Amino acid sequence: MTEKLSDTARQTVLEPLFSAGWEMVEGRDAIHKTYKFGDFTEAFAWMTRAAMFAEKWNHHPEWFNVYNRVEVTLSTHDVDGLSQLDVKLARKMDSL
């Protein structure tokens, strides 16, 4: 069962994500980041790689793509906020 991040966990696991460009979404318990690529093909290839992990972990991002830009928002709908699944997927996306 997935659980919402505790206050202590948030301090530990979210700070490195904020340093990597993730931001809290105003009015929601969610994080957001915009990725920029050289062109549409690079952006779409990255989305495809990220989608493979999202499907494997059954945790799907909210995302929007225009040409070389991909905007990603992560939140766990089952807990109405951030969970370890969001942290795991954010780290994976950054590593791709």
| Distance in angstroms between the alpha carbons of the first and the last residue of the chain | 27
Q: Is the pLDDT of residue 25 over 80?
A: yes
Sign of the C-alpha dihedral computed for residues 79, 83, 84 and 86 taken in this order: positive
In 3D space, the residue among 5, 25, 24 whose CA is nearest the CA of residue 83 turns out to be 5
Per-residue pLDDT band for 1 (boundaries 50, 70, 90) equals: confident
CA 47 – CA 10 distance, rounded (Å): 26
> What percentage of residues in the chain have a pLDDT greater than 70?
100
* This prediction's pTM: 0.95
On whether the CB atoms of residues 78 and 85 are closer than 8 A, the answer is no
75-85-71-81 Cα dihedral, nearest 10 degrees:
10
